[in-house]
Amino acid sequence: MTSARQPRTARLYFAAALALAASLLVAHLARADAGPASAGTARLAALAGDVTAADGHRYDARDDTGRTMDAAQIEQAQDGRYLAVYHTLLADGRFHAAVATSTDLRHWQRRQRSPTTAAAATSSPMRRTPATTSPCGRTRTPPRCSRAAPGTPSTRRAPCRAAPRAPPASPRCAARPSSSPGTDRQLRATLTGFRHWHAEPDRRLDRAVRSRGNGGNIGDRAPVELGGQRVVLIEGQGRRGDFGTWSTYAYDPPSGRADRLDIRTHGGSRAFANPSATLLTDPRGEPALLMSLFVPAEGSAPGESGQLLYWRELGK
């Protein structure tokens, strides 16, 4: 009987040792993953993580006509003014794109003429209506990797120009196709000679966001360079159809890892979508990082739903 117990006891000890080793490995991986993916993502988290510490902010940003500035993307003109491209859901049930200007990042004057590229630069933060226009106002329609939707395009690497004879480079396009109806995923595409598109799914970026527990849409993305390192802001939805589960992530291309930005607002809003970031000179004349996020009503604190703009000076 003693000899019969020994193998059983050995198996029990072996199983216990395996369980302990597994728990130690998980703890080690958790500790390794606790740090930022890169110096760039760490810097972004430090600058963008706390709205209450920002050098300036505005919740529920609207233009001077009262229209909401949903999914606003902001740049600075050479004369120092700030330019915003955004859209608003009006009573006709359609999203209308517009441009506004500002001198202080808080008060915006809508300009009557909308840009030809405005509709392509934004997507609906309330209803995921796919964009059908080109990322360049006069180039051909971007490719589709799904019959469900072409997604939301954005361009990089080269400027958009109207049918140039000899383009200096071929721009790359990041769009958001649907892997299944109503579920958005990432796409990369290259335009050659402003005539031919080559598209493929960006599975690496998808995996990075999905590994953070996002089973819903993976949507808007926007690059920013901090300290010589490129970081991509991207949104991920925890549960499909639940707008209160949108989060914003800082994706590090070299490591292929996405870190969730734990954004703190004055009231404690918990959902953030349609991220973009811009390096500019703030109203005080200091270099700053401007963040633009949409706060869905489902995940917002009182008075904080709508477009959130805030900026932090880089010297802090």
Q: What does the pLDDT look like over 186-209, one tens digit per residue?
A: 877 888 888 888 888 888 899 999
Q: How many angstroms separate the CA atoms of 60 and 76, rounded? A: 21
Check pLDDT > 60 for residue 94: yes
Question: For residue 12, what pLDDT is reported?
Answer: 61
> What is the mean pLDDT of the segment spanning 261-267?
97
User: What is the bridge-based pairing of β-strands 229-237 and 246-252?
Assistant: antiparallel
* Angle made by CA atoms 180, 124, 178, in degrees to the nearest 5: 15
Each residue's pLDDT tens digit, 243-261: 999 999 999 999 999 999 9
Per-residue pLDDT at 127 exceeds 50: no
pLDDT at 162 (0 to 100): 38
Mean pLDDT of 125-140: 35
Q: Position 224: which residue type?
A: V
Contact 110, 67 (CB under 8 A): yes
158: left (phi over 0), alpha (psi -120 to 50) or beta: beta
Nearby residues of 276 by Cβ (< 8 Å), 6 or more positions away: 72, 73, 74, 220, 222, 233, 291, 292
The model's pLDDT over 289-313, given as tens digits with 9 standing for 90+, comes to 999 999 999 999 999 999 999 999 9
The reported pLDDT for the residue numbered 176 is: 53
Q: Is 135 helix (H, G, I), strand (E, B) or coil?
A: coil
CB atoms within 10 A of CB 63: 22
Gap between the terminal Cα atoms of the chain: 73
CA separation for the pair 169, 162 (Å, rounded): 14
DSSP strand pairing (273-281 vs 306-313): unpaired
- Enter the tokens of residue 192: 């050659």
Contact between residue 231 and residue 208 where contact means Cβ atoms under 8 Å apart: no
With 70 as the cut, is the pLDDT of residue 25 above it? no
Q: pLDDT (tens digit, 9 = 90+) per residue, 143-167?
A: 555 555 555 555 555 444 433 333 4
CA nearest neighbour of 107 among 265, 276, 264, 283: 283
pLDDT of 80 > 70? The answer is: yes
Interatomic CA distance for residues 99 and 39, integer angstroms: 34
DSSP track, 199-232 = EEE-HHHHHHHHTTT--S-EEEEEEEEETTEEEE
Tell me the two tokens of residue 129.
């209506």
pLDDT band at 168 (very low <50, low <70, confident <90, very high): very low
Question: 78-92, 119-133, 241-255: which has the minimum mean pLDDT?
Answer: 119-133
- The amino acid sitting at 234 is I
**Is 50 exceeded by the pLDDT of residue 57?**
yes
Name the maximum alpha-carbon separation found in the chain.
Answer: 92
The secondary element (H helix, E strand) that includes residue 265 is none
Say what the pTM is: 0.73
Q: Around Cβ 315, how many Cβ atoms within 10 Å?
A: 7
Distance CA 270, CA 264 (A): 8
Share of the chain above pLDDT 70, in %: 67
Sign of the Cα pseudo-torsion (297, 232, 79, 95, in order)? negative
Distances in whole angstroms, Cα of residue 192 to Cα of each of 23, 131, 168, 170, 177: 50, 22, 11, 5, 20
pLDDT at res. 195: 84
Residue 18: pLDDT band (50, 70, 90) is low
Q: Over the stretch 37-55, which tens digit does the pLDDT of each residue have?
A: 899 999 999 999 999 999 9
